Amino acid sequence: MGLIGTILKIIKYLMLITLCLILIADLPLLLFLLNAKSVLLESTTYSKALKDNNAYSIAREAAVNKGFEVLEDNNQLKDFRVPKSAVKTAVERIVTDEWLESQTDRLLSNFFSYLKGEKQTLSLNVSLKAVKANVVPETQDLIDEVFEEQADRLIQQYYRVPGGAPCQSLEDCEQLCKNPAYAQVCLQFASQFGVEEISAQAIKTHFKRQVQANLSQQIEYIPDSVDLAEPIKADAQTMDSLEQARSAIQTVFTALNVLLIATIVLILFIAIVAFIPFHPVSAIRWVGFPLFISGTLAALAAHFGPTQLQQAIAQQIPPELAADTLFTLSKNVVLSIISQIASATFLQAAILAVLGLILLLSSFFLTAIIAVIKRVIKLVKH
């Protein structure tokens, strides 16, 4: 081999080493970006993260706590002393996990379809028909429980026989109306209850009907569906931001496709350079080496990365935030999404590393076979 041949060989190996280093750096990044794109822009990712972290029950519990604060702050409702356990049970029956999950899945699906450009109009409709239909029947037990526990106190506060002393209890009111002195006024009073005479059962029935009628009236004001996109559409700045996000996502899609094609071309170029003038085994080995190294590095990063990130976040969170339920839920949802990206990346990286290892082992195996064949041919010639 002359000087020129030696120089060309050195240039070839320097080129191969450079290309392999570029490929080793490129492949893990490409795997991560492709999986991040497929995970972050799929609505099912967030649905799964919310479900796995019991988000629906936690959100409903927070709503119950907030609603109970409203009850306690409302002077009129405060008199009823509604037990929190009863409110929680009623809300769980009215706003079920199934309803929350189905509505959330639909919202996420519509939002990400719009964000990815699959839909041109943003629509975030939430159907409230099922919730409205559940309110009256599912609050029956709550009304019964409140009234049964506090009947005497409510009677003293809200029910007075006209022209007579206030009733101290259901039974007292019933006995009072048996007194002939109050016969006429009690008949008038009874007519308010839609019964012929005052009795404990009549007052109970009237009270419950009154509450249910008021509840039904309030429900009528609730629409059958609400489009959460309306306030977003009304805000020009928010819509501009969404349009910019849609444009950026399309740019990212294009860039990733270009990077994927460039990576494939890079692998083919390495194989061609290593193959010249005629070294198929060398081509296999030079392709297998970066695939094995990059796949191994990506798999290790995907396996240990989420754990290290979780530990780092835990060290930075102040104690007061760590105790907050909604913050903990948000943190767990984010970590769950990162875990999904890492799991997908790990699987693909492991396949890449195994493929690279097979190519490397095959190259050495082929080298040994070729050496044996050459030796046999040499012996035959002699």
Confidence (pLDDT) at 188 = 61
- CA dihedral 240→242→244→248, nearest 10 degrees, is 180
Nearest partner of 24 among 367, 363, 352, 358, judged by Cα:
352
Tokens (6 digits) for 235: 């805000």
Name the pLDDT band for 73 (thresholds 50, 70, 90): low
Interior angle at CA 87, CA 79 and CA 69, nearest 5 = 60
> φ, ψ for residue 97 (rounded to 5)?
-60, -40
pLDDT of residue 310: 82
**Of 211-220, 280-289, 336-345, where does mean pLDDT reach its minimum?**
211-220
Task: Round to whole Å and give the CA distance between 325 and 305.
Answer: 25
Task: Output the pTM of the full model.
Answer: 0.72
Alpha helix stretches (DSSP H) within 177-199: 183-193
pLDDT tens digit sequence for 85-135: 666 777 777 788 888 888 889 999 999 998 888 888 888 888 888 888 877
* pLDDT value, residue 376: 74
Cβ atoms of 146 and 83 within 8 Å: the answer is yes
Which structure tokens are listed for 76? Answer: 């009129």
Please calculate the CA angle 260-48-98 and round it to the nearest 5 degrees: 145
Distance CA 175, CA 177 (A): 5
d(CA 94, CA 90): 6
> Per-residue confidence at 235, pLDDT binned at 50, 70, 90?
confident
The single-letter code of the amino acid at 188 is Q
Tell me which of 167 and 331 has the higher pLDDT. Answer: 331
Alpha-carbon Rg for the chain, nearest whole angstrom, is 37
C-alpha span between 99 and 156 (Å, rounded):
40
The answer to whether residues 274 and 363 touch, using CB atoms and an 8 Å cutoff, is: no
Angle at 123 between CA 117 and CA 128, to 5 degrees: 150
Tell me how crowded residue 58 is: count the other CB atoms within 10 A of its CB.
Answer: 16
Rounded-to-integer distance, Cα 20 and Cα 14, Å: 10
Coil, strand or helix at 354: helix
What is the rounded CA–CA span in Å between residue 103 and residue 64?
19
Is pLDDT of 336 > 80?
yes
Q: Looking at residue 100, what is its pLDDT? A: 86
Angle at 138 between CA 60 and CA 101, to 5 degrees: 35
List C-alpha distances in Å: 25 to 28, 189, 291, 339, 350. 6, 87, 11, 22, 16
Reading the block at residue 175, the tokens are 């006995």
Q: What mean pLDDT do residues 62-76 have?
A: 63
